[in-house]
Amino acid sequence: MAKLIDGKEIAKDIRESVKQSVAEYREQGVEPRLAVVLVGDDPASVWYAKSKKKAAEKIDIAYDLYELAADTSEEDVLALVDKLNADKAIHGIMVELPLPDQIDSDKVMARVDALKDVDGVNPINRGNILQGSEGLFPATPESCIECVLSTGVELKGKKAVIVGRGETVGKPLVFMLLKHHPTITICHSRTADLAAEVKQADIVIAAVGKAGLITGDMIKPGAVVVDAGVNEVDGGGYVGDVDFESAEKVAGFISPVPGGVGSLTTVLLFRNLIKGMRMQAKA
């Protein structure tokens, strides 16, 4: 039976270290402050924005929520981002996605100051991932890596398979994971034999959005299995991309959904806020 990768437990340690940094800034008279821009009333975005507020309050990070109507123009959103970029009291900016159709998300993401880009969406930070340079990197792939590292399994020379090449998780994860020296295979909707690719992996990370895509018979005995997928189920709740019941019988380590990757993302966003503050001080 696989050992559980407990996202909440991993988050605790990171939260303590962020809390400590926040306290040190406050002692110096600096109030770490995150600005979140929410355009419209997409239920998931509203939920994420509000849950971040609660989490920020718990560790003493000041949190400003800018709620804009769904019909706000692109020009007005960009003007707000410019204002937040220029405001020295704001250390991190996050624009909740998706944005309404009249707004070009790429344009807005590119406008967020790269040193305040806690969500790691600005093309400069995407480039930093590719170059292996210092930068602010997206929380979900970072969370997948923290989940793998928490097992203590060395990645160097191991075979890792990432299932999914989406912009949010799979694609940035490839180069973030590569820093730890595994040999990586990337699978997607046109992979000819997904089961065969997954079967040879010491580390499997699923980031697709299809419940039950990866089953126990596809997994190499003892492998580390990290599930970033989030799929709603009829009657409420959600599951990952991995069929947990069959996979836990074969894997060495497995992250559950919920309680795995998703439990870490908010605290990693706050860790980015602190990292960004240090980078801003040097700039």
Site for ligand NAP, rule CB under 6 A: 140, 163-170, 187-191, 194, 207-210, 213, 228-230, 261-262, 265
Residues 224, 230, 236, 242, Cα dihedral to 10°: -30
**Would you say 169 or 250 has its CB closer to ligand NAP?**
169
Q: How far is the CB of 229 from ligand NAP (least distance, A)?
A: 4
Query: Which DSSP symbol is given to 180?
Result: T
- Which C-beta is closer to ligand NAP: that of 87 or that of 212? 212
Residue whose CB is less far from ligand NAP, 154 or 167:
167
Instruction: Give dist(CA 187, CA 37) in Å, integer.
Output: 33
Cβ 88 to ligand NAP, closest distance in Å? 30
Coil, helix or strand at residue 100: coil
Please give the residue whose beta carbon sits closest to ligand NAP in the complex: 166
**Burial state string for 204-229 with b = 16 or more CB within 10 A and e = fewer than 16:** bbbbbeebbbbebebbbeebbbbbbb
Nearer Cβ to ligand NAP (90/262)? 262
Report, in Å, the least distance between residue 83 CB and ligand NAP.
27
- Closest to ligand NAP by CB, 228 vs 277, is 228
44: how many CB neighbours lie within 10 A of its CB? 11
Tell me how far, at minimum, the Cβ of 17 lies from ligand NAP, in Å: 20
**Three-state DSSP class for residue 267:** helix
Q: Closest approach of Cβ 258 to ligand NAP, in Å? A: 9
Least Å distance, CB 73 to ligand NAP, is 26
Looking at the Cβ atoms of 118 and 277, the one nearer to ligand NAP is 118
Measured between alpha carbons, how far is 266 from 272 in angstroms, rounded to an integer?
Answer: 10
- CA distances 63 to 49, 92, 97, 280, Å, are 10, 10, 18, 18
